[in-house]
Chains A and B, each alone.
Chain A
Amino acid sequence: SQTIHQWPATLVQPVGSPLSLECTVEGTSNPNLYWYRQAAGRGLQLLFYSVGIGQISSEVPQNLSASRPQDRQFILSSKKLLLSDSGFYLCAWSVGSNTEAFFGQGTRLTVV
């Protein structure tokens, strides 16, 4: 069966520090991968999506970047965090024409 792993679950980082969040998917090949951010009490904002290795599309201009070094690995990064980067970050995957998106458990990032 397919599973998605996202870590860490919580993270507190100072302003100006770097960020690296990792997401891996098991049990499927060539998934579409997504990074979302959810501010407190708000909806889901799509940040990046990827349809294959090295293929990244950015949805919103921001202080973040994404990379997909392997088929089932998706990384969210920042060189210097801002206070406004705080939020709940969710990784998700889907496959082909099957539009159901499966979400990880999320990372609660607090920038202080």
Chain B
Amino acid sequence: QQQVKQSPQSLIVQKGGISIINCAYENTAFDYFPWYQQFPGKGPALLIAIRPDVSEKKEGRFTISFNKSAKQFSLHIMDSQPGDSATYFCAASPNAGNNRKLIWGLGTSLAVNP
């Protein structure tokens, strides 16, 4: 059972456009929602993260929107660039002491055409 559902599986965007990736979760105990970016042949790296006490967090061209009542969160990439082409993973983590296991979405492969 996939606890974090991510969509779409793949996305093609023109340079300068907005890329939007969505995630939905089931467990109301989740309290940490990161997005990771992975380039081919590399390990994922944290891009941006949010906690449920805010509805939006922005870092440069990257924004997380969080809807607690709907149990959904999304990543928006403004002014998408070819260098943004990568696989993006959403994840969620429950408040369960020191060992914070991340529950991962299946990933979205983003291609930004020049």
Q: A44-B89, A51-B99 known; 13 other A-B pairs, CB under 8 Å?
A: A32-B98, A43-B107, A44-B44, A46-B101, A46-B102, A46-B104, A49-B99, A90-B44, A99-B100, A99-B102, A101-B102, A104-B43, A106-B43
Interface residues of A in 65-112 (CB under 8 A from B): 90, 92, 94, 96-97, 99-106, 108
- Chain B interface SS verdict (over half): loop
B11 on interface, CB distance cutoff 8 Å = no
Number of A-B contacts (CB under 8 A): 52
- Chain A interface SS verdict (over half): strand
The range of chain A's interface size is 20 to 34
What number of B residues sit within 8 Å (CB to CB) of A? 22
CB<8 Å pairs between A and B, sample of 13: A32-B98, A32-B99, A32-B100, A43-B105, A44-B44, A46-B104, A49-B101, A51-B98, A97-B97, A100-B46, A103-B43, A103-B45, A105-B43
- A101 interface neighbour in B41, B46, B98, B106, Cβ under 8 Å: B46
CB of B104 within 8 A of CB of A44, answer yes
Q: Mark B29-40, 1 if CB is under 8 A from A, else 0.
A: 000101000000
Complexed CA–CA distance, A104 and B49 (Å): 19
